[in-house]
Structure 1
Amino acid sequence: MENGVLMQYFEWYLSPEPHLWTLLKKDALHLKEIGITAVWMPPAFKGIGGIHDVGYGVYDIYDLGEFDQKGTIRTKYGTKEEYRDAICALHEVGIQAYGDIVLNHKMGADANEFVKAYEVNQNNKNEVTSGEETIEVPTVFTFPKRQQVYSDFTWNWTCFDGIDYDILSKRHATFLFKDKHWDTQVDGENGNFDYLMGADIDFSNPHVVAELEDWAQWYLEVTGLDGFRLDAVKHIGAHFYKDLIRQLRQHYQKELFTVGEYWHGDVRRLCNYLNEVEGEVSLFDVPLHYHFYEASYANGNYDMAKIFDGTLVQIANDKAVTFVDNHDTQPSQGLQSWVADWFKPLAYALILLRKDGYPCIFYGDYYGIPYSQISGKSELLDCLLFLRKNYALGLQRDYFDDSSIIGWVRDGPQKSGLVCLMSDSVGGCKTMYVGLQYAGTYWYDALGNYKAHIQIDGQGNGVFIVNGGSVSVYIQANE
């Protein structure tokens, strides 16, 4: 899988109809044909929002669209059987399936209980700002409609560290339960960034950890997934996923590729997490996404030669999953940082046509986002994927020697080299060496942005041209 490509197969505003699992099953062969090797599927378990829950408002992780809970049997994406059918369809064409795992919190409890707790400072969760008080909290999860099928584990306040609402006083605040502590090995923002939302799961509780380990084995056996995308890992003690993923790999003797979402623009935070989990997971390259975002709104004043500086793909390329946008960065979302449309071809060339990183394509970029009147770029991405599969191979020579125009050459096997050249400002040219074996040959822009052919001289050099605010990818013309 030298040139594997992951696709995130959902965006935030997808309609519940038609069922996404059914669409994915029908789309499997097409995905294979365009060069997708793995699919990141959205969270498959029942959420508090019923058929409208994107999957992150977690209620019951054992309900994959099988039980009548939260007003629906199916999830937003379909039924349990449709989910398994979609995974089977991917496997039949040789595509791996990754499941989105959301274990940081639970929501939509079946009953409330009274708990002693302390209010903490929102800006420093380690600072207690109240005396001990009794609050009423939704922390009892019995899943009565499931009737203990698959698991008889009952969740109560002892399974959680804290919560953000007191029903008794109708007060929104962050509460830490008495005799509890926020998890360690989490992000240091706000003093301690264990708490994110809902009832915050206590990963120091051995009964909770055992239940989640049992669930993970059940989930793999029921679905046949090939790996995971881990949600909100900076809010969960690193030791938990380090141990869990290691145990699952040993038990099943499978690679179980796993990528975590550690949302931070400082690559040092990501590297620290990779050290804490001892390399058991990869991470999304959030700093690189922010570089794309910044460059796309810099009016041609971004230093393109430094586009990879301070990114995960530069520092730990074997652990970097590169991406342009996702469901959190799309318009109207909490982390909105949507890369400008004109820069999307440049950004996708930067993740798809280079040797480092594991690129992830976003459903909203490929198929569009009707909610935000955003059109899909399937034609562009199909072309880049074709080039990645057939030409973006072999040694790589970089020409990151200009603040505006940058490029690189890939050697490729059997005279199938590739030259990529891009500019965030005015157009121009760059002399680039492709190899003596190409002397006298003609090359053309496979993206069609520059129309004329380029001839390689006797020393194996070509003067390649790019238009302003554009990208060109040159390959050898048929002789």
Structure 2
Amino acid sequence: MKTLLNTCGLLLATAPFFMSCSSEDPVEQIATKERQVKTVSDQRPGLKPIGSGVMMQAFYWDVPAGGTWWNTVRSKVQDWSNAGIDAIWLPPATKAQNGALSMGYDPFDYFDFGKYDQMGSVETRFGSESELKNLISAAHGSKLSVIADIVINHNSGGQSEFNPVSGKNYWTKFQPKSGRFIRTFEDFHPNSNYQSDTGVFGGFPDLSHKQVRVQNELWKNPESVAKYYKNVIGFDGWRFDYVKGFEPWVVKDWKNEVGGFTVGEYWDGNAGTLDWWSGQAEASAFDFACYYRMRDAFDGNNLNKLKDDMLWKRNASRAVTFVTNHDTNEIYHGKMLAYAYILTHEGYPTIFYRDYEEWLNKERLNNLIWIHNNLAGGSTNILYTDNDEYIAKRNGHNNAGLIVYINNANHWQERWVETNWSNTRIKDFTGHSGWEPVTQGGKWVKIQVPPKSYSVWAPK
């Protein structure tokens, strides 16, 4: 899905040190079942396992036109890999109705990656087919997987033709220059087999996925869209756009046919609904429940909202967490706090290109990526929350785990917490605090956090 939003980036402010002791109330513990993010079994040799690090959304809405974007991303993949990224998510890569101006969400020719002169251009907004292949090759050389954004709910740019089922004309005659997946009204809603199965998205005709021919052309045939993306262009996984527009079995069948990491955009803030969809599709889902709870917590100044239900709390192996994407940017004032949250908690976190490259402190984000990849293992216990404090513990999985302390107040705070470590010196791996306390024999220790900031504690 696509939305054009005004966005801004705010760096966290620092303030002089001063102490404000919080009350030492009994901690509230909310345990979550230990889960590990799944990795795909059919990855190309030599790539980092997807889910072992962090995903980069390698675009934003209205990236520069002119065919330069693939080369821009190519120049960054090695640095991203060095920072701990394990996969990059690219925008829809094939020719769309708006040609060289399109962000790709109005798909026309699924086999034109910037090769054919149609829709007013040869290249896509992002570049040529050869430049895309060079980018993917560079990403693979940097051990990164490449996730394709797949738009199969609707098509755009077809010619008008009469539909005898409805007795009306629709824009459903598609004759792309690639000569592949030529479409007529029978491939859309309604058609002679599914007369009542109608659907239109934004005025675009919706593909009829129950039609066997559509299934064959999209993912089943040896020369299908999915297999061409994977075997010829080199993509490794899939981000499905607007999965509310078709049934979960479509994503499941696609993934079972061609393999690869799979995540769907099911735009819904209800964690139960997301859990249902990911179970039916047997795929990951973007954790919109987590996104909306973070918005309420950090911009709404109520960190108690972080105790609410989220997909990662129900099934972390299926949750892809995010702070911002090309459609949404509602977390303004607490954006770094939100990144501290998703990069220390369960789920597979995503970083947004503009947050990383333009708007926020890259050094701080790299530090959180390192913390995620090296310390943030195991199940989660929420130790304390109030309006402006949040403390949680990761219990460790092949590592010592961590304690994250997030502070949305305008002053320093400190609190006693129970750790997993007895008689152990710990430190704040963010560098925000210079304390290096030793935990007591009973595993308790006092930790601190700066104003409008966070600290992450683990054995030194």
TM interval, shorter chain, is 0.7 to 0.9
Task: Say if 1:308 and 1:314, in contact at 8 Å, map to a contact too.
Answer: no
Q: Distance in 2 between matches of 1:142 and 1:17?
A: 25
| Residue 417 (structure 1) shift | 5.4
Structure that is richer in strand per residue: 1
Amino acid at match of 1:293: R
Give % identity.
28
Alignment partner, residue 236 of structure 2: 226
Counterpart secondary structure, 1:44: coil
Residues 1:471 and 2:451 aligned together: no
Q: Distance in 1 between matches of 2:393 and 2:55?
A: 23
Task: Say if 1:446 and 1:475, in contact at 8 Å, map to a contact too.
Answer: no
Counterpart secondary structure, 1:161: coil
Alignment partner, residue 126 of structure 2: 77
CA RMSD of aligned residues (A): 2.6
| Residue 421 (structure 1) shift | 0.3
Counterpart secondary structure, 2:334: helix
Alignment partner, residue 444 of structure 2: 461
Bigger relative CO (Cα 8 Å, ≥ 6 apart)? 2
Q: Distance in 1 between matches of 2:324 and 2:183?
A: 35
**CA deviation string 1:203-235 (max 9, x = no partner):** 122112211122211221112221111111110
Q: Which runs of 5+ in 1 are unaligned?
A: 119-133, 163-175, 184-192, 250-255, 331-337, 369-374
Alignment partner, residue 282 of structure 1: 284
Q: Which runs of 5+ in 2 are unaligned?
A: 1-48
Per the normalisation by structure 1, the TM-score is 0.78
User: Counterparts in 2 of 1:18-97, with a 5 A limit?
Assistant: 19-97=68-146
Match 2:351 to one of 347, 352, 361: 361
**CA deviation string 1:56-105 (max 9, x = no partner):** 01111110111111111111111111111111111112111111111111
Alignment partner, residue 430 of structure 1: 415
Alignment partner, residue 404 of structure 1: 388
Change (3 A) 1:276 1:412: closer
Q: Distance in 1 between matches of 2:318 and 2:256?
A: 16
Match 2:216 to one of 210, 214, 217: 210
Q: Distance in 1 between matches of 2:276 and 2:440?
A: 49
Q: Distance in 1 between matches of 2:401 and 2:249?
A: 44
User: Counterparts in 2 of 1:78-117, with a 5 A limit?
Assistant: 78-109=127-158, 111-116=159-164
User: Counterparts in 2 of 1:291-440, with a 5 A limit?
Assistant: 291-298=293-300, 300=301, 302=302, 304-330=303-329, 338-340=330-332, 342-354=333-345, 356-368=346-358, 375-393=359-377, 396-410=380-394, 418-425=402-409, 427=411, 428-439=413-424
Task: Say if 2:271 and 2:311, in contact at 8 Å, map to a contact too.
Answer: yes
Q: Distance in 2 between matches of 1:360 and 1:436?
A: 30
Task: Say if 1:196 and 1:235, in contact at 8 Å, map to a contact too.
Answer: no
| Residue 414 (structure 1) shift | 9.6
Residues 1:271 and 2:281 aligned together: no
**CA deviation string 1:384-407 (max 9, x = no partner):** 112222332456543134443121
Change (3 A) 1:205 1:178: closer
**CA deviation string 1:136-155 (max 9, x = no partner):** 32211112x33x2xx2x421
Amino acid at match of 2:79: H
Q: Distance in 1 between matches of 2:105 and 2:67?
A: 20
Task: Say if 1:383 and 1:447, in contact at 8 Å, map to a contact too.
Answer: no
| Residue 21 (structure 1) shift | 1.3
Alignment partner, residue 181 of structure 1: 196
Alignment partner, residue 135 of structure 1: 168
**CA deviation string 1:85-144 (max 9, x = no partner):** 1111111121111111111111011x32123576xxxxxxxxxxxxxxx4332211112x
**CA deviation string 1:167-199 (max 9, x = no partner):** xxxxxxxxx99962227xxxxxxxxx7745411
Task: Say if 1:116 and 1:178, in contact at 8 Å, map to a contact too.
Answer: no
| Residue 18 (structure 1) shift | 6.2
Number of equivalent positions = 405
